[in-house]
């Protein structure tokens, strides 16, 4: 990923801030409460280049460093986290192709992904395989020049509105260890690829989460990413570091947004003749919220900068994802309490942040899994 000078970065952030203020904030309740696909906002994100944010300029993208990309996600998520999922899941598909694909695969797919002409995502989770990806059952059988795929994926972001997915399957179900029999395919919608039901969610509205059903779905062998079987698990693991940095950035955005809403409300709302911000109980909450949000931001940027340096950063990304998501959950809860009864009303934005925050503790690997990753990596790096 290329570097970006301070002036260009500042201009980019200013553009994002104006867009969020003018186009996103006034309409977020409309889309979120109706759980409606934000088609107009998606078109604007295409114009802003967000679908090619981390794709190399060679293939038509912006080629942004992870730290710059994380900052963009933070700024958008402080107002509406869900729409960052529309382009982040898509960018995981693009990253898999750019990092592990053949040059013909890159030339064929990345330019259209970068513009958003083709949009998609990452299809990993199955009904019985979430955190434990090695338990997946979807198979791909070689048939001369094609592969024939059967199975079901679930909880796939962009599953209904998307066009193409990075699909993790087993090409050798008997392989030992299990991960060595897994492969990753570029899977565009077509015959044999059906979209099941849209899954209803507590929060994270407007972005579609769906079931994908494959029944004798046939694709050419050149859709195997890298065109070598058995590398899928490693290819997916390589993208999860950036995915976890993105989820951490979402958590930072929610934590900072909740803090901002609480601070604004606490300075306006009065009890016993003075703003509630001047009451010690509220001031203590805001002090803790500000500290959590700041710590989450610094951990996330630390992980993003390590990623940009090309270093292994599964521990750093895990720390950022774990802490920032918990900060989002705690800050949104405390902000709702500061709002009192109004925080429980759909007229106030805090209820949306409160509903969106729990997903960050689950997505891209549960926080229980993150703590195990952190512990293992810390001991490896600091073993005697």
Residue with the two structure tokens 């952190």: 374
CA distance 306 to 312: 7
**324 has a pLDDT exceeding 70:** yes
Of 124, 157, 156, 307, nearest to 232 by C-alpha is 124
- Which residues are CB-contacts of 376 (< 8 A; sequence separation ≥ 6)? none
- pTM, rounded to two decimals: 0.95
Reported as a single tens digit per residue, the pLDDT across 326-348 is 999 999 999 999 999 999 999 99
What average pLDDT does this structure show over 47-71? 97
**285 has a pLDDT exceeding 90:** yes
Q: What is the pLDDT of residue 323?
A: 98
CA distances to 84, 259, 262, 264, 336 from 351, in Å? 18, 13, 12, 15, 7
Reported as a single tens digit per residue, the pLDDT across 234-283 is 998 877 888 899 999 999 999 999 999 999 999 999 999 999 999 999 99
Show which residues are catalytic. Answer: 364
Mean of the per-residue pLDDT values of the chain: 95
Q: What is the pLDDT of residue 107?
A: 98
CA distances to 169, 184, 225 from 117, in Å? 26, 22, 20
CA dihedral of residues 162, 164, 166, 170 (deg, nearest 10): 110
How open is the CA angle 205-209-214, to the nearest 5 degrees? Answer: 165
- Which residues are CB-contacts of 197 (< 8 A; sequence separation ≥ 6)? 210, 211
Q: What are the structural domains, with CATH classification, of the chain? A: 6-115 (1.10.540.10), 120-228 (2.40.110.10), 234-381 (1.20.140.10)
331, 255 Cβ separation under 8 angstroms? yes
Reported as a single tens digit per residue, the pLDDT across 348-360 is 999 999 999 999 9
Question: Which has the higher per-residue pLDDT, 383 or 381?
Answer: 381
CA distance 19 to 377: 40
What average pLDDT does this structure show over 312-333? 96
Buried b / exposed e over 185-214, threshold 16 CB at 10 Å, is bbbebeeebebeeeeebebbbbbbbbbbbb
CA dihedral of residues 330, 332, 334, 335 (deg, nearest 10): 160
Q: How confident is the model at residue 384 (pLDDT cuts 50, 70, 90)?
A: low
Q: What is the pLDDT of residue 2?
A: 62
**5 has a pLDDT exceeding 90:** no
Reported as a single tens digit per residue, the pLDDT across 154-165 is 999 999 999 999
Q: Which residues pair with 169 in a beta bridge?
A: 183
Of 199, 91, 219, nearest to 154 by C-alpha is 199
How many other C-beta atoms can be found within 10 angstroms of the C-beta atom of residue 230?
16
Reported as a single tens digit per residue, the pLDDT across 80-95 is 999 999 999 999 999 9
CA distances to 273, 277, 333, 335 from 270, in Å? 6, 8, 21, 16
Write out the two tokens for 290.
């500000």
């Amino acid at each position: 990923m290329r570097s970006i000078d301070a002036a260009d970065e500042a201009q980019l952030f200013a553009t994002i801030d104006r867009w969020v203020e003018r186009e996103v904030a006034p309409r977020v309740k409309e889309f979120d409460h109706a759980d409606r696909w934000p088609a107009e906002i998606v078109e604007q994100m295409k114009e802003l280049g967000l679908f090619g944010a981390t794709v190399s300029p060679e293939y038509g993208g912006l080629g942004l460093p992870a730290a710059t990309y994380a900052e963009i996600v933070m700024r958008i998520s402080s107002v509406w986290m869900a729409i960052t999922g529309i382009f982040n899941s898509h960018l995981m598909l693009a990253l898999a192709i750019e990092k592990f694909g053949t040059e013909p695969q890159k030339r064929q797919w990345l330019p259209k992904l970068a513009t958003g002409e083709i949009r998609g995502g990452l299809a990993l989770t199955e009904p019985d395989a979430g955190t434990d990806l090695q338990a997946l059952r979807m198979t791909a059988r070689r048939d001369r020049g094609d592969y024939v795929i059967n199975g079901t994926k679930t909880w796939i972001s962009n599953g209904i509105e998307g066009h193409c997915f990075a699909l993790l399957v087993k090409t050798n179900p008997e392989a030992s260890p299990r991960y060595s029999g897994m492969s990753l395919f570029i899977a565009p919608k077509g015959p044999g690829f059906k979209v099941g039901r849209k899954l209803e969610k507590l929060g994270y509205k407007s972005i579609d989460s769906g079931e994908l059903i494959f029944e004798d779905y046939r694709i050419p062998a050149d859709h195997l990413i890298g065109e070598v079987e058995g590398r899928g698990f490693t290819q997916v693991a390589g993208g999860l570091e950036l995915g976890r940095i993105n989820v951490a950035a979402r958590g930072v955005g929610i934590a900072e947004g909740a803090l901002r809403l609480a601070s604004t409300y606490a300075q306006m709302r009065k009890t016993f003749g003075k703003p509630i911000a001047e009451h010690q109980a509220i001031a203590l909450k805001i002090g803790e919220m500000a500290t959590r949000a700041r710590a989450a931001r610094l951990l996330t940027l630390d992980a993003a900068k390590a990623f940009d340096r090309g270093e292994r950063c599964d521990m750093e990304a895990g720390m950022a994802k774990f802490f920032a998501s918990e900060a989002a959950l705690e800050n949104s809860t405390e902000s709702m309490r500061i709002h009192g009864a109004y925080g429980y009303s759909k007229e106030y934005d805090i209820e949306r942040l409160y509903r969106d925050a729990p997903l960050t503790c689950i997505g891209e690997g549960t926080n229980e899994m993150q703590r195990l990753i952190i512990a293992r990596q810390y001991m490896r790096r600091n073993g005697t």
